[in-house]
Amino acid sequence: MTILGLPSYERPRERLLSQGGGALSDAELLATLLGSGTRGTSALDVARELMATYGDLPALGRAEIADLARLRGVGKAKACAVAAALEIGRRAQKPRRERPAMRVSADVFAFYGPRMAHLTREVFHVMCLDTKNRLLRDARVVEGGLSSCSVLPREVYAPALREGAAAVVFVHNHPSGDPAPSPDDLSLTTRLKQAGKVLGINPLDHVIIGEGRYVSLVDEGSFSVL
């Protein structure tokens, strides 16, 4: 019987959607990955044969792709998909690399200086930080022209909301090389701070990167009074 011939509540993909991966056997998880079998053989049949051949997922993960591809109903494409999925699983078990902490403006400049030194267009980034000011994500929000870019609060905070960030640091460059803040920079920072207050995300600083130097609005006293 094909998978489509099973009642919907017994099909691996439907059960995965309704009950989560923990409710599925190893063979059923493999079947959702394989997607289809061959003529007269369902994906679940192929998955069960894989498990019968190798015994368990760790052993399957050690199999050569060429050996998997020779099994009935597998082939090269599905063998690669299985190998890739098992490698993802192994990597997911590795501890996360220590995330850099952004405690002072010099930390921000050390991170962004080399990344922005060569840019000829203005770009705006938001650093999404956890409760210990460790970097969750560096997101480029917008890229502008030679001297400016248009930034909207909703674009800035969207990555922070997705990451569940506790705090953010705004960063952009001045391709001219002079990091002195413009009136537009100060006005934008005011709007972003107000939006952060509404969203419950703490804006820590706005750092402007120039050629070999930078300006922190916190360090120069402009940030706290905005």
Cα 177 to Cα 213: distance, rounded to the nearest angstrom? 8
**105-216 has which CATH code?**
3.40.140.10
Enter the DSSP assignment of 220: T
Say if residue 1's pLDDT is above 50: no
Report domain extents, the chain.
Answer: 3-92, 105-216
Across the chain, what does the average pLDDT equal?
A: 84
- Contacts of range 59-66, beta carbons closer than 8 Å, 24 or more positions apart: 60/86, 61/86, 61/87, 61/89, 61/90
Q: Are 209 and 179 in contact (CB under 8 A)?
A: yes
Residues 164-202: pLDDT tens digits?
999 999 999 999 999 999 998 998 999 999 999 999 999
106: pLDDT confidence band, cut at 50, 70 and 90?
very high
Enter the DSSP assignment of 144: -
Cα 185 to Cα 34: distance, rounded to the nearest angstrom? 52
Residues 36-87: pLDDT tens digits?
766 667 788 888 888 888 888 888 888 888 888 888 888 888 888 888 888 8
User: Does the pTM of the predicted model rise above 0.85?
Assistant: no
**3-92 has which CATH code?**
1.10.150
With a CB cutoff of 8 Å and minimum separation 6, the contacts of 139 are: 125, 126, 128, 159
Which amino acid belongs to residue 206?
H
**Which residue would you say has higher pLDDT here, 98 or 184?**
184
Say if residue 7's pLDDT is above 70: no
